[in-house]
Structure 1
Amino acid sequence: MERGPWPRAMAARWLLLLLLGPALQVHAQLDSSDFISIDCGLPETSTGFTDNVTKLSYVPDTGFTDAGTNHNISAEYVTASLPMNWHTLRSFSGDRDARSCYTVGDLVSDLKYLIRAMFMYGNYDNLNRLPIFDLYLGVNYWQTVNISATDEMMIYEIISIISDGHVQVCLVDTGSGTPFISSLDLRPLKNNLYPQSDESQGLVLSDRRNFGASDSVIVRYPDDPYDRIWMPLLSKTAEWSVISTDNIVENRSNSFEAPSAVMQTAVMPTDPSSAFGFIWNAQPSAKNHMPGYVCMVYLAELQHLPRNTVRQFNIYLNGELGYSGGYTPSYLFTDVIYSDKPFYSSHPYNISMNATKTSTLPPIMNAAEIFSVVSTTGTATIAQEVAAITAVRDTYKVKKNWMGDPCAPKKYAWDGLRCKYFESSPPSVTGLNLSSSGLSGNVSFSFANLKGLQYLDLSSNNLTGSIPEILSQLSLLTLLDFTGNQLSGSIPSELLKRTRDDSLIIKYDNNPNLCTNRDSCQPAQKNSRSMVAVYVVGTVVAVLLIVLLLVLLLFLRRRMHGTTSNIITMGNKAIIAPSHAQSSSGHSSLRLDNRRFTYNELETITNSFQRVIGRGGFGKVYHGFLQDGTQVAVKLRSESSDQGVQEFLAEAQTLAKIHHKNLVSLIGYCKEREYMALVYEYMPEGALHQHLGGSTNNGKTLTWRQRLRIALESAQGLEYLHKGCNPPLIHRDVKTSNILLNANLEAKIADFGLLKAFNRGNDTHVSTARVVGTYGYLAPEYLATFQLTNKSDVFSFGVVLLEIVTGQPHILNGPEPTSIVQWVRQRLAHGNIEAVVDSRMRGDHDINSVWKVADTALKCTTQAPEQRPTMTDLVAQLQECLELEVARGYTNAGFYTTRNGDDMSTNVSQRTFEIDHLGRVPTMSTGPALR
C-alpha cells in the first residue's frame, strides 16, 4: 500500500511501501564475479589482489585507460588497516578542459549499475595542492570532486542505466589542480531497484547512513549483496537510545532492499515527547545550481511490543506532513518511505518524526539514503561513427586527447574533429583533420564509416598503399587531402568522376608513386591470347546489356500502366499482397469495395469545392454533404502535390480494407483522368493541434481528462496498425495535425499516404530511399539511417504526448528553435512538472498522471529504439493515467491529497542528526572496520 503525496508545492511525492504477501528473502548473495573492481595506479606487471575483508578481487587499470601516470600515496598515510585499493592512484596532468577517461566494457546492456569512484590524495606529488575537478559518466556531468584534506578518503557514487554494454568514466581538468583517481567499482543492480533512476536521470549519492551502528562498523559486501557502503551514524548518547536485534530483518519491497545487518539497529529519542529526524544541506555546483533530491527512510520494529504499548508517529519534510494517519513500523520487516520525484529547496532539508497522541513509544529510525538527481539525457555521437573513429585512433595510435565521446559534450570534442549537432538526434562527425599526425601504413577503411564526413585531411603523414575505392561511398565528402604521403596506385575512378562535376576536391601533390591519370595507369602490353579473351568477354557483356535493356523497357512499360497492391482481409487482420490491377481497356483501376465517385459528383458534394477545412502535402481538404445529408471530408490531390499516384493508391487501398474505431473511415474515392480524391468521414472538431494551440473557434481549452482520452484513443489506433495488421503497418507521419476529433472529441488517426508495411519474415527494419514525415517528429535513427521500425512511430507519438501535456508546439520558436523533447527534458531535470504542464488547464489535473504521461513521453523519445515502449505498453500506461484522473478528488486505497492527521507542535523539542556528504569517509586511527 502506498500513502500520501506531499503538497504539490513540494514538487515531490512521498510513498510508503507496505507490501502485502510473502517477504523477499535477501540472504542469497549476488555473484561477485559480475563485480568490476579496478585499483587505479597499480603497476602494469601486477596481477591484482584480493581484499582481506570483502574478499573481492581488484585488478590493475591497465587496459581501461592509456593516459595518466601511476603513483603511490606518501608513506606517512599508509597504515596497516588502510585497504590496499587506497595505496595507489593514477593522475592525469594536462591542459584546462582536458578530459581523461576510463572505458569499461563487457557490461550488460540496459542494466542498472552502481558506479563508485574513490579518491585519496595522500600528497602523492609532494606538492600539498588539493585539486578540484569534474567527474563525468559518459557525456553526462556526474559531480565535482573537491579534495579538501590530504588524508581524506572520498567516495562518489552514481546509480544509472548503462544502455550499450560499455561505460566511460571521465575526469576533467577544470584548472584547479591535477585530476586523479584511486579506484573504480562497478556493481550490477536489479533494474527494479531505485526506480527513480531511469533512462533520463541518474542518482548521485549524497549520503547512506546506518543509524545506531557502532562508530567502527561499516556495512558492505558480503552483508550487502550489492556492495553498497553503509556508514554508521550516532552511537548511544544521553539524548538517544539505540535498540538492536540479532534476528533477521527481511525486505518486503521489490524497489528498495536494505541489508539485514543495517536494519538490525535503530535509534530513538530518550524523551518520548521529542520529535527527531535528520537534516542535510543542498550541495550546489557550478553545473547544477539547485540540485533536486530524493530520499529513502528505512523503518522496522526491532522490539516485540507488549499489547498495551503502541509505537505510532507522523513523518514530515520541512514541516509539511508527508505520511498521515500515523505510521506503525512492522516487526522484523523493512518498510520504506521514499520520494519518487525530486524536491527542491534553497534551505536545509529536514526529515522529522513525532509520536501521535495515541502512541506510548517514541519514533524510531533504522537507515536512510539521500540522492541528488542528475540528467543522463546527454546525446552521444552516432554509435557507428564512434566505432569508426575509435578504430582510426587504435590503428594509427593517435597521440591526441582522443578519449571519451568524440563529439560530446561539445566543449570536450576531440582535437581535429568537426562535429555537427542536432536538437533531437546524435551529433555526427563532419570533418577530420589528421594532418602531420605521424600516421603510417595503409589508408584505413574505417574512414568510410564516417558517413557524415565532408572533409578529410590526411596530408603530411607517411601513408602508403593505394587510396581505397570505398571512400567514394562518402556522398557528402567535398575535400580529400592526401598531400605529402607515400601513396601508390591510381585514384579510384568514382572519386575522379566526382572531381569532374566539381562535387569533390582531391589534393594529392607530393605522392611520387601515385598515378593521377587512370587511363595511363594500365599496363601497356597485352598478349594476343588475352586480347581475344577481352573481345569475347566484351561481346558477351554487350549482348547481356541489350537483353537487360529490353527487360527494363518492358518493366517500365508495365509500370506506366500501373501496378498496385491489393489489401485482403482475413478476420481482423489485413494482408497486403501485390497484384496487377488493370482493366480490360489497359488503364489502371482501383479494386475497392468502397463507393466510387465521379469528379462531377465531388463538385456537387462540395458545392464546387467551396469550403476548405484543411491542407496537406496531398492537397486541400473540402467539406461536403452526401445526398442523405451525411457530412464528409473530400481530400483532393493537387497537380503540384509532392505526393503522387503511389501515395494515393497506398492510402486508398489501405483504408478500404482496414477498419478500427480510432482510424478515420474511408467512404469512397475518385480516380478519373487526372483527378484523384478520397472521401472520408467528417471530423467536425478538426485536428488536435488546433485545440492545443488555442486556434479553435470556441476558444475552450481541453481538460486533462479529455487530453488523456484523446492520447489513449490515438494510441489504440496506432496499436492496431502495429499489431492488428499482417504485415504490421508503420504510419510514418504521426503528429497532432493527423489526429482528428469527432463531435464527441473522440480521436482518430488520419493521413495514411506514407504508410509502410513492415516485418516480412525476420526483418528487423524496413529501409526507405528517402526520409519522409515531419521534422521534429522524426526518430533520430530514421534520419540517420533511413531504416524504419514501429519504434519510429513510438518516437513520434512521444512528441505528441509532450504536446498534449504542455500545449506547446513540437518546435518552439525563439532565438534558436528548440524541439519540445529538449525543452521538456531540461525543465523536468529540475523536477518541476508545473514548469511544463499547460497553464491553461489551471492546475485542474491529477499531478501523478501528468508525471506519468511526461515520463512515458520521454521514454518514447529516447535515442535508442529498443529502449522505447511498444504501442501496446503505451495503451496500458495511458489507461492507468486516465483511471488516476477519473478517480481524482476521492480518497482511494489509502492515497491522500490533503493534509490531515496531527500537526507538528511548534513547542516540541526536536533531536536532529545533521548529515554530511557521504563522500567523506571518517579518518580513524585504526582505519574503517567492516562488518
Structure 2
Amino acid sequence: MRQSKLRAVSARPWLLLLCLALAATAGVMQARAQPNSIGFISIDCGFPGTTSYVDDATTLPYAPDAAFTDAGENHNVSSEHVTPELPRIYRDVRSFVDGARNCYTLPSTLAVGLNKYLFRAAFMYGNYDGLNRPPVFDLYIGVNLWKTVNLSSSDPAAPVIAEAIVVVPDDFVQVCLVNTGTGTPFISGLELRPLKNSIYPQVNATQGLVLQSRRNFGPTDMTDIIRYPDDQYDRLWTPMIIDAIDWLVLSTTEKVRNIYDDLFEVPSKVMQTAITPRDATSSINFYWNSKGSSLGYIPVFHFSEVLQAGAGVVRQFNININGKRFTSHDYYTPRHLESGYVYGTRPYTNQIRYNVSIVKTDTSTLPPIINADEIFIVISTTNVGTDSEDVSAMKAIKAKYQVKKNWMGDPCVAGTFRWDGLTCSYAISDPPKITALNMSFSGLTGDISSAFANLKAVQSLDLSHNNLTGSIPSSLSQLPSLTTLDLTGNQLSGPIPSSLLKRIQDGSLNLIYADNPDLCTNAGDSCQTAPQGKSKLVIYYVAVPMALIVVALAVLLCCLLRRRKTRGLADVSVKPRDKTPTSLASMAADEHRLSSLRLENRRFTYEDLEMITDSFKRVIGRGGFGYVYEGFLEDGTQVAVKMRSQSSNQGAKEFLTEAQILTRIHHKNLVSMVGYCKDGVYMALVYEYMSEGSLQEHIAGKRLTWGQRLRIALESAQGLEYLHRGCNPPLIHRDVKTSNILLNAKLEAKVADFGMSKALDRDTYASTNTLVGTPGYVDPEYLETMQPSTKSDVYSFGVVLLELVTGRPPILHSPQPTSVIQWARQHLARGDIEVVVDASMGGNHDVNSVWKAAEVALQCTEQASAQRPTMGDVVAQLLECLDLEKGRSANESFCDGDDSGSATASLSHSSAFVTGRIFGTVPMVETGPATR
C-alpha cells in the first residue's frame, strides 16, 4: 500500500500569513488597561501614544502597552521590513535593555479563582536595533517558565508566536521577559483570552500546555487562518495545504455542532473541512518532532463526518502513534456534523519523532479522515507565586512612591530576581510571604501608605531616613507579626496612635521614631513634641493602667490556684497548654452564653470528667478543638469526652457553637450530646460513644464492602438532609468530610463535629466573612463568594462519596497533585469504571450501582452550585443505588458460581451506555487518551 504524505508550505510564508491574520488598523479609541466586553486583553507592545486601534479582521481593539509595564523603550522595526501588508502590531516593539527581568502585569478578567487563560505573545525582530543580531531569551508566566524564545535562526521579518494555556489563581498575572545573556529581550504583541474551566482538561493548577502546532486540514486558501470571531476563544487555526494528487478535500456548508460538555469547542468553520486519501486503501500519515521537552507532548485530534453516509457505507479507523494504538477499542467512528475528538492525558516522552498513522479498519468501506489537530508541549506550573495580598500591597506601594528599583514580576521569586529590600518566608505548602521590608534611604515622600498594613506576615518594617510626612497610621498596629517599626529620620507629625502604644506596652512591638521633630509621644488631647536623642530611641510606655492590669492578672491567678487547691487538682492530667491567662470578661461572657442556652443536657463539673475518664487515661481522638477521651457514666454507659484545648484560639467559639446546635437537633444519623462541662477555664462536650471510629479510618483500612459503603453514604446523607430541611432555620455543616462521619458498633453512620456549622439567615446563603473547611472538600463557589449554602455541604458530601467509591483521598499526589474529582471524572468519561472502583472490594459489587453512585458524586461536585442536587435528591438516588446492590446480592443466591463471570461482563457492557448517556461520550480510550 502506497504511503500518502502530507506536504506543508515552508515556514516563512506561513509566518507571513499569520501576520496577515493580525490585520492592520482602522479607527481609534481611548486606551485603557482594561479588558474589552468579552474579557479579551490585546496589547500592541511598543505602540506609542494613548489611543487604541481596531483590527480589521477581528474587530478587536489593540491598546498601547504603557499601562501594563513601566520599563523598556519603544522602537520601530527597520523600514526595509515594513510592507503595506505588514500588520501594525509588528511595526514596532518594546525593547528591554535595562534589568535582567522585565514584566507586563495583566488583570484577570474572570472572578478570582483557578481560572484558565490562553496567553499569546508575538515577536518580530525586524532589525529594530540595527545590529542584525536577533536575540534568545526566556519568557515566563508568573514564576513559571513559558518557553525560550529563539529568534537567532529565523528570518528577521518572520514573526514568532508563543501560545500557552495555564491556570491563573489570582486577580492578576504577570508575563516576564528574562535576559539570558544572548541578546536584548523585546516583544511585539501580547494577548490574553479567558477560557471555560471545562475545556482543555489536561490543564490544571500544576500543569500547563504550550502550543507547538494547531492545524486546520482542508482549506484550499493558504491565507484562510481561522480565529475570532469564528473561534470564540480567538485560537489561531492555520491551514494545512495538501497535495491534491494524493488527497481529497471533504467539506460542507452546514453547521457542525459542538455536543454537550464539549472539552475543546472547535469552531464549526474548522470542522466543516476534512481530508481523506484519494486511494481508499491508504492511511493518513504525519508526524511531529520533539523540541526537547522533558515533560512530553499531548496531542488532540478532531474529527467530524461532513458527508451523509449512504446505506451500507461505514467509516471506521484507528489512530496509532509510533506504532502503538492510541485508542483502546476496535475503532473510532466520526459522527455526522458533530465535533468529536481523541485526546491524550498522559504525555508522550523520550522520543525524537512522533509518527501518527490513521488507519481504516478491515470492515470500513471508507478511508480515514481528519479535520484538525493540536500538538501541545507540557510545562510545569508548580512554582507558587508570592501571596496575592502581599503582591497587591507591594504593587500599591510601588505605585504610590514611584519606586524605580528592580521591582518587576513576582516580589519573592527565588534567586537573584527577588525585589530589593525584601525578606521572604518559603513554605512547602504555602505561597511565599514577605516577612521584612527595608525601604530606608529610598527617597520616599508623602504620607505612609495604608498598603503597608496589608503585609500580614511582615515582622520588620524599616521606613527610616526618607521624607515621609503626616501621621503614623493606626492600622499598622493590626499587623499581627510586626515586631520592629523604624520611622527614624522623617517629617512625621501628630500623636503616636494609642493602638501602637498598647502594642509597645505589652512588649510585642519595638517602635523607633527619633528625628521626627513634630511627632508627639502621647495620644491625649495635648500633644507634646517628641524628645530628640543622639541615636534611635525606643518607646517604653509604662503607665498606671499597666500596673492595674498586672494586679488584676495576679488576683485572677491566685483565685484559680485556690480553686484548684480546694478541689485537690494539683496534679491533673489535662492542663491548659496556653500560658496566656483567660480574661475574667471572656469567662463571664462564655458563662452568660451557656446559661442562655437553657440546656436540657446534663452539666458536668471538671471533677466529674476526671472520674468519668479515669483521670483522662485513654485518648481516642484528637482534633482542632482538643483531645477526645474514653469515659463511662455511673450506669456504665460509654461516652466520648472532647476537652477544649486552651491553646486553640477558636476553641471557645466552636465549643459554644456546637453546644448550641446539639441542644436543638435530634436525628438518628447525627451524633448526640450527652452533656457538657463549663467549669472555670475548662470546657468539654460529652457525646455518645462511636466505637468504630471515623469513616476515614475504615476507607484507609480497606475494611468495607460496597453494601456497607452505600449504607454509610445513605445514612450520612440523611443526617445532612435533616440539617438542611428539618431544622429551622436550616443549618450548614461547613466541614463535611470522612473524619467527621463516625460509626457505631453496628457500622451505623452519624455526622459529627458541628463547631463550624452556621445557620442560614437568608433564604439560600449564610452570612460569613471567614472561610472554613478542609482542603479537598471546600466548595469552589463558596471559596469564591465567601457565601456558604446547603449546596456547599452537597459538594463536600460528593467528595466523601467519591472516597467511598474509589478508596482514594480527596487530593491525589501521584503522579502529580490533582483532586479525586478531576481524576474520577476523566476516567469515567472514558468508561473506565473498574479503574475508578476501589480494588480492595475485589469486584464484589453491582457495577450499575457503582456507576450510579459515581454519577451522583460527580453531580454533587459540579462547579456551579445551581447544577448540584439537594441532599433530598441525593438520598433518593442513593436509595436506588442500594436497591441495585441488594438485587445483585439476592440474584447471586440463585446463580451458580460458573455464571457469575458472564453476568458481570454483561453488566459491564451495559454500563458503557450509561456513561454515554451521562457524559455524552462512548468509552474508546485507555489510560491516557480519551475520545468522543
Q: Which residue of 2 aligns with 1:564?
A: 594
SS in structure 2 of the partner of residue 564 of structure 1: helix
Superposed CA offset, 1:781-806 (max 9, x none): 99999999989989988997998799
Is 1:241–2:262 an aligned residue pair?
Answer: no
Equivalent position amino acid for 2:350 in 1:
S
In the aligned structure 2, how far is the partner of 1:181 from the partner of 1:165? 24
Contact 2:758 2:766 in 1 (8 A): no
Q: Which residue of 1 aligns with 2:91?
A: 87
Equivalent position amino acid for 2:740 in 1:
N
Equivalent position amino acid for 1:738 in 2:
N
Distance change in 2, residues 1:175/1:141 (3 Å): same
**Counterpart among 239, 258, 267 of residue 259 in structure 1:** 267
**Counterpart among 561, 575, 600 of residue 591 in structure 1:** 600
Equivalent position amino acid for 1:418 in 2:
T
Equivalent position amino acid for 1:275 in 2:
S
Is 1:740–2:742 an aligned residue pair?
Answer: yes
Distance change in 2, residues 1:824/1:727 (3 Å): farther
**Counterpart among 72, 76, 83 of residue 72 in structure 1:** 76
The Cα shift of 1:85 comes to 1.2
Distance change in 2, residues 1:806/1:363 (3 Å): closer
The Cα shift of 1:38 comes to 1.4
> Share of identical aligned residues, percent?
50
SS in structure 2 of the partner of residue 205 of structure 1: strand
SS in structure 1 of the partner of residue 47 of structure 2: coil
Is 1:506–2:511 an aligned residue pair?
Answer: yes
Contact 2:643 2:685 in 1 (8 A): no
In the aligned structure 2, how far is the partner of 1:276 from the partner of 1:83? 35
In the aligned structure 2, how far is the partner of 1:832 from the partner of 1:250? 27
**Counterpart among 39, 42, 46 of residue 47 in structure 2:** 42
SS in structure 2 of the partner of residue 58 of structure 1: strand
Q: Which residue of 1 aligns with 2:314?
A: 310
Contact 1:798 1:861 in 2 (8 A): no
Contact 1:482 1:507 in 2 (8 A): yes
5+ residue gaps, structure 2, are: 1-34, 530-582, 828-834, 886-903, 916-921, 926-932
Distance change in 2, residues 1:323/1:247 (3 Å): farther
Superposed CA offset, 1:151-188 (max 9, x none): 33222223355565544333333444332221122334
Q: Which residue of 1 aligns with 2:104?
A: 101
Is 1:657–2:664 an aligned residue pair?
Answer: yes
Q: CA RMSD in A?
A: 5.7
Contact 1:218 1:230 in 2 (8 A): yes
SS in structure 1 of the partner of residue 120 of structure 2: strand
The Cα shift of 1:766 comes to 3.7
Contact 2:117 2:194 in 1 (8 A): yes
**Counterpart among 352, 362, 365 of residue 360 in structure 1:** 365
Is 1:153–2:159 an aligned residue pair?
Answer: yes
In the aligned structure 1, how far is the partner of 2:678 from the partner of 2:46? 79
Q: Which residue of 2 aligns with 1:274?
A: 282
Q: Which residue of 2 aligns with 1:479?
A: 484
Q: Which residue of 1 aligns with 2:562?
A: none
Q: Which residue of 1 aligns with 2:437?
A: 432
Q: Which residue of 2 aligns with 1:336?
A: 340
Contact 1:385 1:428 in 2 (8 A): yes
Q: Which residue of 2 aligns with 1:574?
A: none
In the aligned structure 2, how far is the partner of 1:624 from the partner of 1:202? 56
Contact 1:381 1:427 in 2 (8 A): yes
SS in structure 2 of the partner of residue 229 of structure 1: coil
In the aligned structure 1, how far is the partner of 2:429 from the partner of 2:124? 40
Q: How does 1:284-433 map to 2 (within 5 A)?
A: 284-285=292-293, 289-291=294-296, 293-302=298-307, 304-307=308-311, 309-318=313-322, 319-320=324-325, 322=327, 324-331=329-336, 333-339=337-343, 341-347=345-351, 348-374=353-379, 379-407=384-412, 412-433=417-438
Moved more, 612-621 or 680-689: 612-621
Contact 2:912 2:923 in 1 (8 A): no
Q: How does 1:589-668 map to 2 (within 5 A)?
A: 590-592=599-601, 613-614=620-621, 620-622=628-630, 633-636=638-641, 650-660=657-667, 662-666=669-673, 668=674
SS in structure 1 of the partner of residue 274 of structure 2: strand
Q: How does 1:440-839 map to 2 (within 5 A)?
A: 440-516=445-521, 522=527, 562-564=592-594, 579=596, 581=598, 590-592=599-601, 613-614=620-621, 620-622=628-630, 633-636=638-641, 650-660=657-667, 662-666=669-673, 668-669=674-675, 680-691=687-698, 694=701, 717=719, 721=723, 725-727=727-729, 729=731, 731=733, 736-743=738-745, 745-752=747-754, 755-757=757-759, 759=761, 765-766=767-768, 826=817
Equivalent position amino acid for 1:77 in 2:
H
The Cα shift of 1:82 comes to 2.2
The Cα shift of 1:270 comes to 3.0
Q: Which residue of 2 aligns with 1:532?
A: none
In the aligned structure 1, how far is the partner of 2:358 from the partner of 2:172? 43
The Cα shift of 1:481 comes to 1.5
SS in structure 2 of the partner of residue 218 of structure 1: coil
Equivalent position amino acid for 2:742 in 1:
L
Contact 2:296 2:350 in 1 (8 A): no
SS in structure 2 of the partner of residue 217 of structure 1: coil
The Cα shift of 1:376 comes to 5.4
In the aligned structure 2, how far is the partner of 1:748 from the partner of 1:163? 36
Superposed CA offset, 1:436-464 (max 9, x none): 22211222222223232211111222222
Moved more, 432-441 or 459-468: 459-468
Q: Which residue of 2 aligns with 1:210?
A: 216
Q: Which residue of 1 aligns with 2:175?
A: 169
Contact 2:170 2:388 in 1 (8 A): no
Is 1:186–2:192 an aligned residue pair?
Answer: yes
In the aligned structure 1, how far is the partner of 2:503 from the partner of 2:394? 25
The Cα shift of 1:40 comes to 0.8
Distance change in 2, residues 1:448/1:406 (3 Å): same
**Counterpart among 899, 902, 908 of residue 890 in structure 1:** 908
Equivalent position amino acid for 2:281 in 1:
S
The Cα shift of 1:39 comes to 0.9
Distance change in 2, residues 1:130/1:167 (3 Å): same
Question: Higher RCO, 1 or 2 (CA under 8 Å, sep at least 6)?
Answer: 1
Distance change in 2, residues 1:618/1:198 (3 Å): closer
Q: Which residue of 2 aligns with 1:909?
A: none
The Cα shift of 1:704 comes to 8.2
The Cα shift of 1:648 comes to 5.9
SS in structure 2 of the partner of residue 359 of structure 1: coil
Superposed CA offset, 1:719-750 (max 9, x none): 75467644454657666543323456554322
Q: Which residue of 2 aligns with 1:230?
A: 237
Distance change in 2, residues 1:808/1:127 (3 Å): farther
Superposed CA offset, 1:326-364 (max 9, x none): 444344x03312337344432344443222223222111
Distance change in 2, residues 1:896/1:496 (3 Å): closer
Contact 1:440 1:464 in 2 (8 A): yes
Contact 1:805 1:854 in 2 (8 A): no
In the aligned structure 2, how far is the partner of 1:600 from the partner of 1:516? 51
SS in structure 2 of the partner of residue 634 of structure 1: strand
Is 1:221–2:228 an aligned residue pair?
Answer: yes
Q: Which residue of 1 aligns with 2:66?
A: 62
In the aligned structure 1, how far is the partner of 2:289 from the partner of 2:762? 57
Contact 2:494 2:527 in 1 (8 A): no
Distance change in 2, residues 1:503/1:620 (3 Å): closer
Is 1:143–2:147 an aligned residue pair?
Answer: yes
The Cα shift of 1:209 comes to 0.7
Contact 2:258 2:339 in 1 (8 A): yes
SS in structure 2 of the partner of residue 435 of structure 1: coil
Q: Which residue of 2 aligns with 1:927?
A: none
Moved more, 196-205 or 49-58: 196-205
In the aligned structure 2, how far is the partner of 1:479 from the partner of 1:877? 56
Contact 2:631 2:640 in 1 (8 A): no
